[in-house]
Structure 1
């Protein structure tokens, strides 16, 4: 056995052993298949040599293997995602391309042929209408991953209402209690540090002895933060990170810099759209993030918070009548969840369409964790 073949066998053996002890059985099976293919491609066994020399058989098998490997890689391991909006600035910006690792939370198996890369093209060509996508549906299943969703993870998911892929940061994992007080996030009643590049709407007040902003200051602001707009009375409204705020406080012509919390919006109500709660994007909750096995007592607030996901993702006919709550026609006082959910928020805290507006994100819609920046104008990795 050559040195290269020995290294290949040892590497595959380590992968198989690791997946076996971590109970990642699906990855162990892929490792075994990889070892078998490697053996056939390198072995001097007469049967393997004969197969490799039979070109009419080995070439089509190779092409089929490459096609299956390409489908499997994109479906089970990694994919690329281009950032479409500014909701995660300054962490990642529009136009950035990030790696999405599907193995972290476990690969989500396809729910229809339209979820299988390249195969879906054949189905679109055969059916040629949008409704065809719902003709064949398989139950949701997710294979075991390396870890669970955690607060601080940046992840890609399908928007619960729009169906488009979004990218946000997890600010509430399954089972957590989340609350926002003056834009500060509390998880399980403990404060959570803001991401390093999270930005907030801020007010900059200039030196009152100067009627207009100093040209050097205006130039600096426009160079660093392009959305700077001077207003009357020598102040400016701008989106700032904590580090940028601290830098501006050192400027001799800046008298005050402060984050401005947003008051309740009379037009765009936050989820669950109850005016009496008086919640807004900076003062929200407390709210419990549902998880598998969580038993919840039902009242007017919990019904408003969870009714949509119980109907849409838990698969029940859930309604209220005469101050009573009914599940599939039967009166109940408590409900036990059967799926996991999370709470997503953008790092651009005052300009993000996230869970504060559309509610909880079911894990069944999570594509994977964004782990690295492949391309960025600033060449900066995700933090």
Structure 2
């Protein structure tokens, strides 16, 4: 007698096909790698010289999302491992139809002064795709809105899909920053540039018969030195390099080559005709802090207008001598976020807060930890890897 009353059960433990195994493995790897990249650590490469000599072009870094607390994705629907643009098609790598509000997981610490921080470019909300100018707004000031919008493809980007930038945090929320003769002061205290950063120096020598290998041995980029006359050069250097240079017998004098206060660069933050600032002389500027209330008038609004309107999402307009926020007359404003002042260590070759102002906390990506690879594309084949920089911590 056959007691089987149910049909034979299909084996569910049959082996998966090779294609299915590969698909599952790749999918799992992509999910895990994406979670690590979003919430723990991300690779970053230095594209410009704005942080020399702390960071060099071709340095590959690991950036920690854990230190300051990982930012929950604000644009959740995006192609894995692509930031804002697909590598081949040059199309958007995300869909901004779904936007989440800013939230951040608990971190190990707050941002500290002099931390090296990766963040989204504050003025990267609008971009001219065919132009490498970091700010669409600079293009508009130079050529006019109509010319720029007719000549280039203009797009907008959500906060977490704006260009990633790396700088040093010079000022914290609530700090007052200023700069005079190339020296930054925070809350009235001078903050000397560390030995890893550099400034331009005017170097006068006693003779025209110079062995430039001496300069090279001290770390100078000889090919970038500018010759003013037969015995005068302008060169970027750290304070440590300058101290060693002054000890050489053929050096006549060395001094900082900075702009006088009378020069107005014109294109610096906050683009206020009443503030004649340049890259070596600016401020004082108070950095907004969460809960700080500022009085609104003709003196403060040039500094804080963009933070109030763009970063904190308010409708701001002026009618006569009265400012209106969200259609209500306002004589003051209380900030909802913390802000920071970021600057490059290569002070005369850095587009930073001197140009676009404060960095809001919701733009912060993470803290630079260490260099895992350094590649010098201009070196000969056997010297392309900078071995002395591998696994070097960032300070």
**TM-score, structure 1 normalization:** 0.77
Corresponding residue for residue 35 of structure 2: 72
Q: CA RMSD in A?
A: 2.8
Output the CA distance in 1 between the equivalents of 2:307 and 2:247: 48
* Cα pair 1:114 1:120 within 8 Å, conserved: no
CA pair 316-253 structure 1, distance change in 2 beyond 3 A? same
Per-residue deviation at 1:129?
Answer: 5.2
3-state SS, counterpart of residue 280 of structure 2: coil
Indicate yes or no: 2:56 matched with 1:93: yes
Indicate yes or no: 2:150 matched with 1:187: no
CA pair 344-54 structure 1, distance change in 2 beyond 3 A? farther
Q: Which residue, out of 93, 107, 112, partners 1:150? A: 112
- Per-residue CA shift, 1:247-288, capped at 9, x if unaligned? 110010001111122246545421001232222222211111
- Per-residue CA shift, 1:49-69, capped at 9, x if unaligned? xxxx9976xx79876654432
Indicate yes or no: 2:227 matched with 1:230: yes
3-state SS, counterpart of residue 299 of structure 2: helix
Per-residue deviation at 1:114?
Answer: 4.2
Output the CA distance in 1 between the equivalents of 2:344 and 2:58: 16
Which region of structure 1 is more displaced relative to structure 2, 250-259 or 319-328? 319-328
Q: 5+ unaligned residues in a row in structure 1: which ranges?
A: 1-52
Per-residue deviation at 1:138?
Answer: 1.3
Corresponding residue for residue 274 of structure 1: 272
* Cα pair 2:170 2:342 within 8 Å, conserved: yes
Q: Which residue, out of 360, 364, 368, partners 1:366? A: 364
Which region of structure 1 is more displaced relative to structure 2, 338-347 or 253-262? 253-262
Output the CA distance in 1 between the equivalents of 2:287 and 2:62: 27
CA pair 54-258 structure 1, distance change in 2 beyond 3 A? farther
* Cα pair 2:51 2:344 within 8 Å, conserved: yes
Per-residue deviation at 1:231?
Answer: 2.9
Output the CA distance in 1 between the equivalents of 2:40 and 2:79: 13
Output the CA distance in 1 between the equivalents of 2:330 and 2:321: 11
Q: 5+ unaligned residues in a row in structure 2: which ranges?
A: 1-12, 125-161, 375-385
Indicate yes or no: 2:96 matched with 1:134: yes
Output the CA distance in 1 between the equivalents of 2:77 and 2:303: 32
* Cα pair 2:114 2:169 within 8 Å, conserved: yes
Output the CA distance in 2 between the equivalents of 1:118 and 1:201: 38
Output the CA distance in 2 between the equivalents of 1:372 and 1:124: 27
Output the CA distance in 1 between the equivalents of 2:98 and 2:287: 31
CA pair 260-215 structure 1, distance change in 2 beyond 3 A? closer
Indicate yes or no: 2:314 matched with 1:330: no
Corresponding residue for residue 246 of structure 2: 249
CA pair 120-204 structure 1, distance change in 2 beyond 3 A? closer
Per-residue deviation at 1:193?
Answer: 3.4
* Cα pair 1:110 1:116 within 8 Å, conserved: no
3-state SS, counterpart of residue 133 of structure 1: coil
Corresponding residue for residue 286 of structure 2: 288
Output the CA distance in 2 between the equivalents of 1:138 and 1:160: 18
Corresponding residue for residue 297 of structure 1: 295
Per-residue deviation at 1:351?
Answer: 1.1
Which region of structure 1 is more displaced relative to structure 2, 186-195 or 300-309? 186-195
1:50-129 matches, cutoff 5 A: 65-115=28-78, 117-118=80-81
CA pair 276-268 structure 1, distance change in 2 beyond 3 A? closer
* Cα pair 1:82 1:97 within 8 Å, conserved: yes
- Per-residue CA shift, 1:144-194, capped at 9, x if unaligned? 111111110001111112331111000011221111122222222222232
Output the CA distance in 2 between the equivalents of 1:82 and 1:266: 33
